[in-house]
Amino acid sequence: MEVKTKNGDIKVTLTLPGVPEFVSVARLTLSGIANRMGFDVDAIEDLKVAVSEACTNAMKHGCEQTEDQYVVNYTVKENQLIIDVSDKGEGFDYDAMETPDLTRPKENGLGLYIIKTLMDEVEIKSEASKGTVLRMIKKLEE
SS3 69: strand
What's the CATH code of the domain at 88?
3.30.565.10
Does the pLDDT of residue 127 top 90, yes or no?
no
Higher pLDDT, 108 or 14: 14
> 75-79 long-range contacts, Cβ below 8 Å, gap at least 24?
75/5, 75/9, 75/10, 75/11, 76/9, 76/10, 76/11, 76/12, 76/33, 76/37, 77/9, 79/139, 79/140, 79/142
Give, in degrees to the nearest 5, the angle at Cα 13 between 88 and 124: 45
pLDDT score recorded for residue 51: 98
Of 84, 86, 85, 83, the C-alpha closest to 34 is 83
Q: Which of the two residues, 77 and 98, has the higher pLDDT score?
A: 77
pLDDT tens per residue, range 15-70? 999 999 999 999 999 999 999 999 999 999 999 999 999 999 999 888 887 789 99
3-state secondary structure of 122: strand
Average pLDDT value over all residues in the chain: 86
Structurally, the chain folds into a number of domains equal to: 1
Alpha-carbon distance 54 to 62, whole Å? 11
Provide the pLDDT for residue 129: 77
Angle of helix 41-62 versus helix 111-118 axis, rounded to 10: 150
Range of the domain at 48: 3-139
